[in-house]
Amino acid sequence: MESASIKKYVAEFIGTMVLVVFGCGTAAAVGCNGASVDAAYVLTALAFGLSIVAMAYSIGNVSGCHVNPAVSLGVFLSGKMSAKDFAGYLVAQFLGGIVGAAIIGVLLGWDCGFGANGLYQGNVGASLLVEIILTFVFVMAVLGATDKIENANVAGLVIGLSLTLVHILGIHFTGTSVNPARSFGPALFAGGAAMANVWVFIVAPLVGGALAAVCYCGITGAKNK
């Protein structure tokens, strides 16, 4: 394996781990409850967004700071990523999510909830729809912000704020996933309903990311392959 590829995968592992530790960790530490719009709700949304900003300006020049399989899928379907790197990114991201969740367990205890996602009112269909819409918007923002070299200086900020935006709405419904790796790690340790329903938060973001790629390429005229 090429040294450059290994560096990208390590960067994605670190970035996803940081996102889970600070985003999900904040949700668990402050007791974020989607039913109550309070300081904990806002802090959780900000923690996820600011984590992306921090990582974008630290590992973005190495791997592009996807730290999200749905984003990687969107980039891959847009023809801007090889199949080999796509597979490598996915492995690194899921491992990062698992290690990040384990760190939360060490810091907050193994019954902390891990900021795991949950179905909206127990409704699979509604939860799938919400996550598809949220991920579509987020991945569209990522593709747009990174499409032009002149956006490089502000892309990280735009993407971080976009993630904050989707959390502001999405926390109420599902806790906001838009990221299969972010969901799988916490669900693995939380167990129970979180693990039983984690497939929703893997499938829906991937569908949303794929739709975003198709739509973005369609409206911009970019080659979709």
Asked whether residue 224 carries a pLDDT value surpassing 60, the answer given is no
- Domain contains 106: yes
CATH of the domain at 56: 1.20.1080.10
- Domain contains 203: yes
- Domain contains 90: yes
Per residue in 142-162, pLDDT (tens digit) is 999 999 888 888 999 999 999
The residue range of the domain holding 52 is: 3-220
Per residue in 63-84, pLDDT (tens digit) is 999 999 999 999 999 999 999 9
Distance (Å, whole) CA 139 – CA 71 = 6
Number of domains in the chain: 1
- H/E element holding 217? helix 200-220
- Domain contains 225: no
- Domain contains 143: yes
Q: Tell me, rounded to whole angstroms, the distance of Cα 57 from its chain centroid.
A: 17
Distance (Å, whole) CA 90 – CA 158 = 23
Per residue in 111-146, pLDDT (tens digit) is 999 999 999 999 999 999 999 999 999 999 999 999
